[in-house]
């Protein structure tokens, strides 16, 4: 039973489902192997070992390694130590008369003239102090203080008390000099004796106790005398092992009349000094051997220091005083240990910042006060810039140090390259609140400054030299590489720089081995450093991969270019081969051997205008037999095919064979063909062919020099043959055709058409040997007058008919008038005759 398919429902809608789509392959994250040309296609280029590179495992040092210089560096990195010392509210009077009193009197002699206004203010201040015993600053603990504004300020401006904390130590008012020294200076001195440089600077408003802290008194010696005591004491203890020499230099930077900054050497034989960059020229270093000698030197220097009485301080320092204790180690034949490095301990007593309202300074004193305040401000700006730079390495380190001699001298410290400490001194009085606030606000952030003590590590002498040799210009760039953790990776800069260079130089991919050298050798427990190293490696690998991808793309483009070049090369080769073949054919067709010269002399007249005038050598085989003579024909491979019928006409019309022969003889007298040519030949040629190609002038053109040519011309003239030069010039052709029925010599190929037409105008087939052998040069085209054309030319010349083909090119000929007489009927008649001739 046949199953008939149900008739299609007219309302049925055929739903064509889209063919199931094939999911595209997920782009492989693996390195694109296929994109890299296989070695089979390009055997010379080895494939890039991307797989190998990516398969490389970065070794992780799991075992803790012994602490290296870098780890030591990380450990020794520390913040700037900022100490705070609070001066007693009322300064104790000298209890006993002694040396201190004498110095006091002497210093008063050197003091600036007392300001009478200040005197009044001082008395007023004294009275105020007596009335008010309130203090504005209270010590919370060893590291923090609370600064409370006076009640008046609290009420009027609602200023609240502020806590300042984070100090390395806070010395209360009753803290002794020794306590301050032990906490603050003793570590510095120990480091100094261990070969580390250090600096301590005292900052604070005028009269807050900076000088007292630094130099002290006889009863209460300050930090400098105490440090000298310790230094000489320790030197004596270890004198058996090492001998040291200590030198002290002390100088001040002051303002002369509040204008220019000056440096004055405070040593006994010192004088004015000058500064070059950060070095003071001519600064004397006085050798000291014991504490007494050193203290004496310091005392004499203090007597020379400029001081003055102000409202704030009866002996206010008017200059910045810097004292350097220089330690030099003398080798005694024993092994050099870590304490053998030379070092300098610098202690700076800054002039106290002062407010005009309080000091009551006027005139030059006021200018001097401005200089003091300016120096303090520059000092603070340097530290602030350092702090901001360390917080954000992108922020460049400002060059505030250039603005004062003091900061120029302390540049290395102020740029964080050497370790320093600050001692802030404040007065606790209620009236000193503003000075204290200003100082603490400005200086308390400095405790966040970090110092990289790389150059202070005695066991890192080589590193110290290396880093110190680096130019300052390179510093920001290095920090940029290191990032915010500059203090941690400072030592690893050289390794990391190598990595950066690797990123830049892809050609050095083989240097990947260096990747496994982490900048920091992590300790086993230091996960932070490990993670950081891992992140660095990841970033580096990512960067390297991007570079490799980039170069791969470049490689692909280059390969495409190479392919196109190859194709072009093949095409060029093919073309070259074709051209070579053509050249060979052309050569074979062009080259006429001496044996074939006779053939070349045959002129094959083709009456067909469109047919090529020049045929190949084999085409003239039909007339070869007509000539038994061999002629050289170097200039033209073509021959004029001469119809037998025309030959008869030519023979009939030929005349003066003797003349021609004689011409030829004379012509060939000096050429190498003269022996070959004889009258018989010419007569035969004349009789049989009258071929213009028998023009011996042409045949010998390549061998006849100009002398021969001229001889030929003379011979021709001597034979009284009317001179008719059948040269390549159309004008000459016309001359020939019109004046003399000469049979011109064969012309060059380029003039074939012209010659062909010209032949028609030749009334006489008398073969004229071109006497103008000047035109026989190979380079010049040669014309030939064909016999058939000669006949026609002869006939038509009688009729006065000329063809257009005779018209000289370039309108240079003298037959212009004749050409103008042409009519269309003449031309038609000419063509008709041509066709008849062909028949
Ligand atoms: N801690 C202290 N204990 C006892 N007396 C002190 C203390 N600090 C300062 N003085 C006394 O206060 C007076 C002013 O001190 P000092 O000259 O050191 O101040 P200064 O900060 O150096 O002032 P300037 O900046 O004007 O030189 C001095 O007579 C000093 O003896």
CA angle 692–696–697, rounded 5-degree value: 100
Query: Sign of the C-alpha dihedral, residues 800, 801, 806, 808?
Result: positive
Cα(243)–Cα(339) distance, rounded to whole angstroms? 11
Cα(114)–Cα(310) distance, rounded to whole angstroms? 7
pLDDT tens, residue by residue, 431-467: 888 888 889 998 889 988 887 654 544 433 333 333 3
Centre a 10 Å sphere on the Cβ of residue 827 and count the other Cβ atoms it contains. 15
Q: What is the pLDDT of residue 592?
A: 54
Cα(239)–Cα(193) distance, rounded to whole angstroms? 13
453 contacts 77 by C-beta, under 8 angstroms: yes
Q: What is the pLDDT of residue 133?
A: 62
Centre of ligand 1 from the C-alpha of residue 315, in Å: 8
Cα(184)–Cα(425) distance, rounded to whole angstroms? 13
SS3 (DSSP) at 638: coil
For the annotated binding site, the residues are: 204-211
285 contacts 315 by C-beta, under 8 angstroms: no
Cα(122)–Cα(460) distance, rounded to whole angstroms? 54
* E-strand stretches of 47-117: 78-79, 81-86, 111-112
Burial (CB < 10 A; 0-12, 13-18, 19+), residue 567, is exposed
SS3 (DSSP) at 692: helix
For the annotated binding site for ATP, the residues are: 204-211
For ligand 1, what atom is nearest to the CA of residue 307?
27
771 contacts 718 by C-beta, under 8 angstroms: no
For ligand 1, what atom is nearest to the CA of residue 85?
1
Q: Of 707, 787, 710, 695, which Cα lies nearest the Cα of 747?
A: 695
Centre a 10 Å sphere on the Cβ of residue 616 and count the other Cβ atoms it contains. 14
Centre of ligand 1 from the C-alpha of residue 129, in Å: 16
Cα(391)–Cα(485) distance, rounded to whole angstroms? 10
pLDDT tens, residue by residue, 72-110: 444 456 788 999 999 998 754 444 444 444 444 444 434
Q: What is the pLDDT of residue 662?
A: 40
Q: What is the pLDDT of residue 790?
A: 59
304 contacts 266 by C-beta, under 8 angstroms: yes
180 contacts 213 by C-beta, under 8 angstroms: yes
- Residues in the chain, overall count: 839
Dmax (CA) for the chain in angstroms is 164
Phi, psi of 592 (to 5 degrees): -115, 120
Phi, psi of 85 (to 5 degrees): -125, 130
Centre of ligand 1 from the C-alpha of residue 214, in Å: 10
What is the tally of helices (H) and strands (E) in the chain? 32, 23
**125: its two tokens:** 């201040």
Cα(626)–Cα(628) distance, rounded to whole angstroms? 7
633 contacts 699 by C-beta, under 8 angstroms: yes
| Residue located nearest, by CA, to atom 1 of ligand 1 | 87
DSSP-derived pairing of the beta strands 603-604 and 640-641: parallel
| Residue located nearest, by CA, to atom 14 of ligand 1 | 207
Cα(326)–Cα(231) distance, rounded to whole angstroms? 11
Q: What is the pLDDT of residue 450?
A: 85
| Residue located nearest, by CA, to atom 5 of ligand 1 | 91
Centre of ligand 1 from the C-alpha of residue 292, in Å: 23
Cα(254)–Cα(741) distance, rounded to whole angstroms? 123
Name all domains of the chain by residue range, CATH numbers in brackets: 137-448 (3.40.850.10)
CA angle 666–668–673, rounded 5-degree value: 160
ipTM exceeding the 0.95 mark: yes
Q: What is the pLDDT of residue 581?
A: 92
Query: Sign of the C-alpha dihedral, residues 232, 235, 239, 243?
Result: negative
Q: Spell out, as residue ranges, where the chain has pLDDT lower than 70.
A: 1-77, 91-133, 238-242, 257-258, 312-313, 331-341, 356-362, 364, 452-526, 591-826, 836-839
Centre of ligand 1 from the C-alpha of residue 425, in Å: 9
Ligand 1 pocket by Cβ (under 6 Å) = 87-88, 91-92, 204, 206-212, 313, 315-317, 351-352, 425
Q: Of 10, 13, 17, 37, which Cα lies nearest the Cα of 557?
A: 37
Centre of ligand 1 from the C-alpha of residue 253, in Å: 20
- Radius of gyration from C-alpha coordinates of the chain: 58
Query: How far are the Cα atoms of 159, 357, 531, 550, 638 from residue 156, in angstroms, in the given order?
Result: 8, 20, 54, 69, 127
Cα(364)–Cα(375) distance, rounded to whole angstroms? 16
**726: its two tokens:** 């059948």
For ligand 1, what atom is nearest to the CA of residue 349?
22
Q: What is the pLDDT of residue 136?
A: 87
Q: What is the pLDDT of residue 783?
A: 55
314 contacts 272 by C-beta, under 8 angstroms: no
3-state secondary structure 228-283: HHHHHHHHHHCCCCCEEEEEEEEEEEEEECCCEEEEEECCCCCCEEEEECCEEECC
Cα(341)–Cα(456) distance, rounded to whole angstroms? 10
Q: What is the pLDDT of residue 544?
A: 87
3-state secondary structure 128-171: HHHHCCCECEEEEECCEEEECCCHHHHHHHCCCCEEEECCCEEE
| Residue located nearest, by CA, to atom 26 of ligand 1 | 316
pLDDT, averaged across the chain = 64
Q: Of 728, 733, 653, 737, which Cα lies nearest the Cα of 698?
A: 728
Q: Of 350, 248, 349, which Cα lies nearest the Cα of 300?
A: 248
Q: What is the pLDDT of residue 639?
A: 40
295 contacts 325 by C-beta, under 8 angstroms: no
Query: Sign of the C-alpha dihedral, residues 424, 430, 432, 433?
Result: positive
**719: its two tokens:** 């034979």
């Amino acid at each position: 039973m046949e199953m008939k398919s149900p008739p299609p429902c007219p309302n049925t809608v055929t739903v064509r489902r889209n063919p199931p789509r094939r999911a595209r392959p997920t782009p492989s994250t693996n390195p694109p192997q296929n994109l890299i040309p296989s070695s089979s296609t390009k055997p010379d280029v080895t494939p890039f070992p991307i797989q190998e590179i990516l398969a490389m495992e970065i070794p992780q040092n799991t075992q803790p390694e012994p602490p290296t210089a870098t780890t030591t560096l990380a450990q020794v990195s520390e913040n700037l130590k900022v100490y705070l010392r609070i001066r007693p509210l009322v300064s104790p009077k000298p209890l006993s008369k002694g040396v201190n009193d004498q110095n006091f009197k002497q210093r008063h002699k050197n003091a600036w003239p007392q300001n009478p206004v200040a005197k009044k203010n001082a008395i007023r201040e004294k009275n105020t102090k007596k009335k008010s015993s309130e203090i504005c600053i209270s010590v919370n603990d060893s590291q923090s203080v609370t600064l409370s504004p006076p009640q008046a300020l609290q009420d009027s401006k609602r200023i609240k008390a502020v806590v300042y904390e984070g100090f390395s130590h806070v010395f209360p008012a009753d803290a002794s000099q020794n306590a301050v020294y032990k906490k603050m200076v003793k570590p510095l001195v120990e480091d100094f004796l261990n070969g580390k440089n250090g600096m301590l600077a005292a900052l604070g408003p005028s009269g807050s106790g900076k000088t007292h802290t630094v130099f002290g008194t006889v009863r209460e010696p300050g930090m400098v005398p105490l440090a000298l005591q310790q230094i000489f004491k320790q030197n004596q203890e270890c004198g058996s092992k090492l001998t040291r020499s200590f030198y002290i230099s002390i100088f001040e930077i002051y303002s002369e009349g509040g204008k220019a900054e000056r440096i004055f050497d405070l040593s006994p034989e010192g004088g004015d000094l000058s500064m070059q960059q950060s070095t003071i020229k001519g600064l004397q270093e006085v050798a000291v051997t014991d504490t007494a000698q050193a203290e004496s030197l310091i005392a004499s220097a203090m007597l020379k220091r400029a001081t003055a009485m102000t409202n704030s301080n009866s002996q206010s320092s008017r200059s910045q005083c810097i004292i350097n204790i220089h330690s030099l180690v003398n080798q005694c034949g024993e092994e050099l240990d870590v304490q053998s490095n030379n070092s300098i301990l610098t202690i700076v007593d800054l002039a106290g910042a002062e407010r005009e309202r309080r000091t009551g300074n006027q005139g030059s004193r006021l200018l001097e006060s401005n200089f003091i305040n300016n120096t303090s401000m520059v000092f603070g700006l340097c530290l602030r810039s350092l702090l901001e730079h360390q917080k954000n390495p992108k922020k460049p380190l400002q060059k505030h140090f250039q603005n004062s001699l003091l900061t120029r001298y302390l540049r290395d410290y102020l740029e964080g390259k050497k370790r320093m400490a600050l001692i802030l001194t404040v007065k606790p009085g209620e009236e000193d609140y503003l000075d204290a606030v200003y100082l603490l606000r400005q200086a308390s952030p400095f405790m966040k400054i970090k110092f990289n003590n790389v150059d202070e590590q005695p066991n890192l002498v080589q590193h110290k030299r290396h880093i110190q040799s680096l130019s300052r210009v390179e510093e920001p760039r290095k920090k940029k590489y290191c990032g915010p953790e500059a203090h941690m990776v400072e030592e690893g800069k050289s390794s990391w720089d190598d990595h950066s260079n690797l990123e830049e130089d892809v050609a050095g991919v083989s240097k990947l081995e260096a990747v496994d050298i982490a900048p920091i050798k992590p300790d086993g427990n230091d996960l932070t450093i490990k993670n950081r190293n891992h992140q660095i490696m990841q970033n580096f690998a990512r960067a390297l991969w991007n570079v490799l991808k980039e170069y791969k793309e470049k490689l692909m483009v280059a390969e495409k270019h190479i392919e196109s070049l190859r194709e072009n090369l093949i095409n060029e080769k093919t073309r070259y081969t074709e051209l070579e073949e053509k050249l060979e054919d052309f050569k074979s067709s062009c080259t006429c051997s001496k044996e074939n010269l006779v053939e070349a002399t045959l002129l094959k007249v083709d009456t067909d205008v469109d047919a090529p005038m020049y045929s190949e050598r084999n085409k003239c085989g039909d007339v070869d037999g007509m000539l038994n003579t061999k002629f050289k024909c170097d200039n033209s491979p073509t021959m004029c095919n001469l119809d037998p019928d025309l030959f008869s006409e030519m023979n009939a019309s030929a005349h003066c064979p003797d003349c021609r022969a004689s011409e030829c003889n004379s012509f060939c007298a000096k050429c190498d063909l003269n022996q070959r040519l004889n009258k018989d030949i010419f007569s035969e040629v004349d009789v049989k062919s009258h071929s213009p190609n028998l023009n011996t002038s042409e045949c010998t053109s390549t061998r006849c020099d100009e002398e021969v040519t001229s001889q030929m011309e003379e011979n021709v003239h001597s034979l009284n043959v009317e001179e008719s030069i059948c040269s390549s010039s159309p004008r000459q052709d016309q001359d020939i055709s019109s004046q003399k029925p000469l049979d011109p010599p064969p012309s060059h190929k380029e003039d074939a058409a012209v010659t062909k037409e010209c032949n028609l105008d030749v009334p006489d087939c008398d073969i004229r040997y071109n006497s103008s052998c000047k035109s026989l040069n190979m380079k010049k085209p040669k014309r030939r007058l064909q016999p058939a054309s000669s006949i026609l030319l002869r006939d038509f010349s009688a009729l006065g008919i000329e063809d257009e083909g005779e018209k000289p090119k370039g309108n240079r000929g003298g037959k212009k008038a004749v050409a103008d007489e042409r009519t269309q009927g003449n031309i038609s008649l000419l063509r008709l005759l041509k066709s008849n001739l062909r028949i």
